[in-house]
Amino acid sequence: MSPRRGGRRRRRRSSRGGRRRVEERLAAWVPRTKLGKMVQDGRVTSIEEIFVEGLKIREPEIVDVLLPELQEEVININLVQKQTDAGEKSRFKAIVAVGNRDGYAGMGAGKAKQVRTAIEKAAVDARLNLILVRRGCGSWECGCGRPHTLPFQIRGKCSSVEVLLMPGPRGLGLVASEVAKVILGLAGVKDCWTKSFGSTRTVPSFAYAVFDGLRKTYSLVTRTEWVR
């Protein structure tokens, strides 16, 4: 399979090899930030504390310690070229999504001369871009009250691509493309309708549009959260 064709297909990363690399990184981890030292000392024991305090995650090892069940999926690998004075410079660009399938998801990109290095860089960037996804039961057809879908309709956008995420009833599944199913599944969304607009064949833009929609789930305040 050529590199260009590989950019159109989603590659599945070996969980065993990824777990081994995470363990090696944690064994050699020396915290450089205050938050990293607090996590290593046991003063911060959950990822929820970081989001409540509004702290910035600047070390991927923090996520590996607090979310050991994190999963990785390679969304896209493509060959990119850059024109320099010495000629064309070719590198691989990888996009990786991570999530624990229970309300946390992240997405990142990485470039390198080798595919494996690009995937590792993208995985690190995805951990640094980890977000909390709000889930609920926003479908009028269901009303079960369980967090199996989105609490309301949300629209995500990246470049010329727009994705509309709509809550679905329990048991519906993910009515979406393969890329959207991977991202929504990693975030813990089990039932959802999707509708896309624009150049959806551009995989990176489409993936980031879905991720932007998930990021916006905490940008709205519902009626139950109003403070009287």
pLDDT digits (tens, 9 = 90+) for 201-211: 999 999 999 99
Calpha distance 72→13 (Å, rounded): 7
The CATH architecture one would assign to domain 3-132 is 2-Layer Sandwich (3.30)
Please indicate, yes or no, whether the overall pTM of this predicted structure exceeds 0.85: yes
Angle CA 96–94–178, to nearest 5: 55
Strands (E), 5-153: 71-84, 87-99, 104-112, 131-132
- Give the model confidence (pLDDT) of 169-221 as tens digits: 999 999 999 999 999 999 999 999 999 999 999 999 999 999 999 999 988 76
Helix 178-187 to helix 203-215 angle (10° resolution) is 30
Q: Where are the domains of the chain?
A: 3-132, 154-222
Domain spanning 154-222, CATH architecture = 2-Layer Sandwich (3.30)
